[in-house]
Structure 1
Amino acid sequence: AVVTGTGRDELIEGLRALAQDETRPGVVCPGMAADASGRTAFLFSGQGSQRAGAGAGLYAAEPVFKAAVDEACQHLDPLLGRSLVELMCAEPGTEAARLLDHTYYTQPALFALHLGLYRLLEHHGLKPDFLAGHSVGEISAAHCAGVFSLADAARLIVKRAELMGQLPPGAMASIQATADELTPHLTDQVCVAAYNTPRHTVISGDPDAVADIVEAFTAQGRRVKRLATEHAFHSPHTESVLDAFREAAEQVTYHPPHTPLISNLTGQPAETDQVTTPAYWSAHIRQPVRFADMLTTLAGAGTNTYLDIGPTPTLAPLVHHTLSDGADNNSDAETDTPTVLTTLHPDHHDTHALTTTLAHAHTTTHP
Structure 2
Amino acid sequence: MSPRLFAVAADTEEVLRLLLGAHLDRIRAGRALPSLARYCREAAAGTAGVHRIAFAVDSYDELRTQLEAACAGEVGRVPSHVTARRPGLVFVFAGQGAQWYGMGRELLAQEPVFREALLRCDRLIGEFAGFSAVEQLKLPAGKARLDELDVLQPTMVSLQIALTALWRSWGVTPDAVVGHSMGEIAAAHTAGGLTLRDALKVACRRSALLRRISGKGALATTELSPAEAQAVAEASGGGISVAGENSPRSTVLAGDSDSLAALVGELEAKDVYCRVIKGTVASHSRYVEELREDLHEALRTVVPAPTRLPMYSTVTAEPVRDAGLGAAYWMRNLREPVRFAAAVEHLSDAGHEVFLEVSAHPVLLSPMRQTLEHGERQGWLLPSGRRRAELRSMLTSLGTLYACGREPNWAALFREEGPDALTPYQAAVLEAARRPRPVPEAARL
TM > 0.5: yes
User: How many Å separate the matches in 2 of 1:254 and 1:145?
Assistant: 11
Shift of 1:52: 1.5
Counterpart for residue 21 of structure 1: 72
Shift of 1:64: 0.8
Q: Could you tell me which of 42, 54, 70 is aligned with 2:119? A: 70
1:325 maps to 374
Aligned residue for 2:232? 185
Does the Cα contact within 8 Å between 2:302 and 2:326 map onto a contact in 1? Answer: no
Which 4+ runs in 1 deviate beyond 4 A?
A: none
Q: Is the 8 A contact 2:354 2:379 kept in 1?
A: yes
- In structure 2, give the amino acid aligned to 1:364: C
Is 1:338 aligned with 2:379?
yes
Structure 2 residue runs of 5 or longer lacking an equivalent are 1-52, 408-445
1:45 deviates by 0.6
Look up the match of 2:416.
none
Question: Aligned pair in 2 of structure 1 residues 286, 54: CA closer, same or farther (>3 Å)?
Answer: same
Cα distance change of structure 1 residues 34 and 262 upon mapping to structure 2, 3 Å threshold = same
Structure 2 residue 277 is the aligned partner of structure 1 residue 236: no
Matched, 1:95 2:143: yes
SS state at 1:272 partner: coil
Match of 1:163 among 209, 212, 219: 209
**Which residue of structure 2 lines up, in the alignment, with residue 259 of structure 1?**
309
Query: Which stretch of structure 1 is more off in the superposition, 146-155 or 61-70?
Result: 146-155
Residue in 2 aligned with 1:174? 221
CA apart distance, 1:103: 0.7
Determine the C-alpha separation between the residues in 2 that align with 1:225 and 1:114. Answer: 27
The match for 1:200 is 250
> Of 47, 50, 63, which residue of structure 2 is paired with 1:11?
63
Matches within 5 A, 1:92-131: 93-96=141-144, 99-131=145-177
Q: CA deviation at 1:78?
A: 2.8
1:127 deviates by 1.2
In 1, the alpha carbon distance for the partners of 2:224 and 2:321 equals: 31
- Whether 1:136 aligns to 2:170 is no
Report the CA distance shift for 1:154/1:236 in structure 2 as closer, same or farther (over 3 A): same
Unaligned runs of 5+ in 1: 328-335
- The answer as to whether partners of 2:175 and 2:310 remain within 8 angstroms in 1 is yes
In structure 2, the partner of 1:351 is: 391
One-letter code aligned to 2:56: T
User: Which of residues 382, 388, 406 is equivalent to 1:366?
Assistant: 406
Query: Number of residue pairs matched?
Result: 350
Percent of aligned pairs with the same residue?
29
User: Does 1:47 find its partner at 2:88?
Assistant: no
Structure 2 equivalent of residue 332 of structure 1: none
Query: What do the CA deviations read for 1:238-296 (whole angstroms, capped 9, x no partner)?
Result: 111111111122111111000110112111111115x2332111111111110011010
Q: Secondary structure at the match of 2:57?
A: coil
Q: Which has the larger radius of gyration?
A: 2
The CA distance in 1 between the partners of 2:80 and 2:279, in whole Å, is 40
- 2:86 and 2:406 in contact (8 A); partners too: no
The correspondence for 1:2, drawn from 54, 62, 69, is: 54
* Residues 349 and 184 of structure 1, relative CA distance in 2, 3 Å threshold: closer
TM-score w.r.t. the length of structure 2 is 0.75
Pick aligned residue for 2:350 from 295, 301, 321: 301
1:28 deviates by 6.9
**1:365 CA drift (Å):** 3.7
- 2:274 corresponds in structure 1 to 224
SS in 2 for 1:166: helix
SS of residue in 1 equivalent to 2:243 = strand
Q: Residues 86-110 of structure 1: CA distance to partner in whole angstroms, max 9, x if unpaired?
A: 212334x3221xx212111111011
Query: Aligned with 1:308: secondary structure?
Result: strand
Distance 1:101 1:39 in 2: 36
Residues 32 and 291 (structure 1), Cα distance of their counterparts in 2 relative to 1, 3 Å cut: farther
User: Distance between the aligned counterparts of 2:353 and 2:311, measured in 1?
Assistant: 16
What residue identity is the alignment partner of 1:95?
K
- Three-state SS of the structure 1 residue aligned to 2:213 is coil
Structure 1 residue identity aligned to 2:239 = Q
Which residue of structure 2 aligns with residue 287 of structure 1? 336
- CA contact 2:303–2:326 (8 Å) conserved in 1: no
User: In 2 relative to 1, CA 2–183 (structure 1 residues): closer, same or farther, beyond 3 Å?
Assistant: closer
SS of 1:204's partner is strand
CA RMSD of aligned residues (A): 1.9
Aligned to 2:17: none
Secondary structure of the 1:201 match is strand
